[in-house]
Amino acid sequence: MITRRQFNHGLVVSALSLFLESEEPATFNYGDNLCIAPNGHLVVCEDQYTDAVNNHLKGVTPEGATYDLARVYLQTEPAGVFFSPDGSTMFVNLYSPAMTLAVTGPWSGA
């Protein structure tokens, strides 16, 4: 479940609303490590706890639509994502073996 705060004229309203709820593992399964992409989409690292190597980076639009952004075919989990200051490169941290991948964009229309 992903929630977001509601804003009213720049003030935070003391309520959370449901933004996205996955009812199926195919949509989201163990999503964590969130990042906002340069295009305003939410990037979610997903960890599959199975023998199959099928970890994803998922995208979520501001309207709540989900899409597959990338897939990791190593027996590891994506442990975080961040973007370069100019927004041209997405860095993906992997847990074990520990490494950081640099993926170039453009990311404005992703």
51-68 confidence digits (pLDDT tens): 667 788 999 998 888 899
Report the SS3 class of residue 61. Answer: coil
Assess contact for 21 and 64: CB atoms under 8 A.
no
Q: Does residue 107 surpass a pLDDT of 80? A: no
The pTM assigned to this predicted structure is 0.77
DSSP 46-103: E---SSS--EEEEEE-TTS-EEEEEEE-SSS-EEEEEE-TTS-EEEEEETTTTEEEEE
